[in-house]
A and B are shown apart, each in its own frame.
Chain A
Amino acid sequence: DAEITQSPRHKITETGRQVTLACHQTWNHNNMFWYRQDLGHGLRLIHYSYGVQDTNKGEVSDGYSVSRSNTEDLPLTLESAASSQTSVYFCASSESDMDTQYFGPGTRLLVL
């Protein structure tokens, strides 16, 4: 069955370290998204991609970067982790712009 996976599921890191969260989907979807979920804010879009080599900034992109070298993967990098980036991160994919997004199980990140 097609699926979307995230790794690691839990991560503890220190302020200033670079961290990369992995997202892999086997739906063969063109569109992939990264969100963060925080209490009182719901899900906020960090970055998204509509295809290989395409990346776009979302609502809360500062301090994050993504790259899309193939259809299946969209890794999210925190260049220099900050305590404000402690959150739960969700990756999602969809076939097209208007299509339902399918979410991964999430990565819980703690920045100390």
Chain B
Amino acid sequence: EDQVTQSPEALRLQEGESSSLNCSYTVSGLRGLFWYRQDPGKGPEFLFTLYSAGEEKEKERLKATLTKKESFLHITAPKPEDSATYLCAVSVRGGSEKLVFGKGTKLTVNP
């Protein structure tokens, strides 16, 4: 069964304190891995898509990386406005249009 596990469930950082969020996956064949940001009461906002091991993408203070078993979302010098829940999802090669989501990591950045 295709599965996505995110860790930690929650993370508290001080402003400027860099850290990483983890997304490990078990799928029959990865087609793509997606990172989203979700603010309370709102829909997920698309951040990155990664397709192959070794691929990296950056956007402002965020950098996503991918290996054959997991993905990391690195947050460099975070600010309070980076506080949100970060969701990871995978699509499976040869499978349906279904995205398999993890439960998310709730990030809080204190000023």
Does A associate with B in a complex? no
Task: Please give the residue numbers on chain A whose beta carbons come within 8 Å of chain B beta carbons, in ascending order.
Answer: none
Task: Please give the residue numbers on chain B whose beta carbons come within 8 Å of chain A beta carbons, in ascending order.
Answer: none
